[in-house]
Structure 1
Amino acid sequence: MKTLNVIATTGLIASLAAFSVNAQGAYSSYMETALVDTCKAAMSDSTYKLRQTLGEYNLKAKTVALGLVCNGEDVITFATNRGANNTADYMNEKLDGASITDLAATEQVTYEVTFEDAPE
């Protein structure tokens, strides 16, 4: 089981590395829209809306949970602090045993967006 986690983590890191250029510089408008929409869906407290948004932009929940920063907070903390416990729990479940210590030996890529998070 531990080997499976290592393989999964290695695959995740490789997929994140493919986007490292975007993570270091300015995002394309599509990428920024995808990230902001994902943050908004996370704070909506609707797992349906979150899953729909992830599918629309072809994003993996685990990748988002590990690498998305919304207004200076990781996506799970961001959702929790806005009372969106359903979406925070959903993202936590998608981590499936992964932890920061699994990734400590490599550079972790994060995608950070800041936006006005007032209710629509």
Structure 2
Amino acid sequence: MKTLTAISTTLLIAGASLVSFTSSAAPMSSYMESALVDTCKAAMSNNTLRLNKTLKAHRLSEKTVALGVVCNGEDIITFAQNHGATKTADHMAQSIGSASITDIASVEIVTYQVNFITSPE
């Protein structure tokens, strides 16, 4: 009985991992990639006005971006901090808000990752 339970648990975890891997590996449209690169560049600029204009232009919410966008392998807040953009990092961190309780089983987390070459403008 313990063996059956262990096998079932292993298969369940492997299936969940496969589902999360395939959803994050989905191809992205050129518009979405452009929007994400613009968002990462705006976060790196340390200009909250530019960040807000970029988010508004692409109709993105600050909370969704703060929780789901990955720039060059780092979440957007860490990415901004590592590039010396403390104003935009703090602004994005404030948009997350307070803690809340969510049923994880009913939520599908989708993250979008974009890699680009950082060059001064």
Same fold (TM over 0.5): yes
The equivalent residue for 1:55 is: 56
Aligned-pair distance for 1:22? 7.8
What is the rounded CA distance, in whole Å, between the counterparts of 2:103 and 2:64 in structure 1? Answer: 13
Alignment check: 8 A CA contact 2:23 2:110 kept: no
Call closer, same or farther: CA 1:30–1:23 in 2, change over 3 Å. farther
With normalisation by structure 2, the TM-score equals 0.74
- Aligned residue pairs total 99
Structure 1 Cα separation of the partners of residues 74 and 90 of structure 2:
16
SS in 1 for 2:118: coil
Gaps of 5+ in 2: 1-21
Asked if structure 1 preserves the Cα contact closer than 8 Å seen for 2:80 and 2:88, the reply is: yes
1:12-57 Cα distance to aligned partner (Å, 9 max, x none): xxxxxxxxx9853121110000000000000000000000000000
Would you say the 8 A contact 2:36–2:69 is kept in 1?
Answer: yes
Q: Among the aligned pairs, what percent are the same residue?
A: 56
TM-score, normalised by the number of residues in structure 1: 0.75
* Residue in 1 that maps onto 2:119: 118
4+ runs of 1 displaced by more than 6 Å? Answer: none
Where do residues 80-99 of structure 1 align in structure 2 (5 Å cutoff)? Answer: 80-98=81-99
* Distance in 2 separating the partners of 1:102 and 1:65: 17
Shift of 1:103: 6.8
Cα distance between partner residues in 1 of 2:103 and 2:75 = 16
Q: Which runs of 5+ in 1 are unaligned?
A: 1-20
Letter in 1 for 2:28: Y
Greater C-alpha radius of gyration: 2
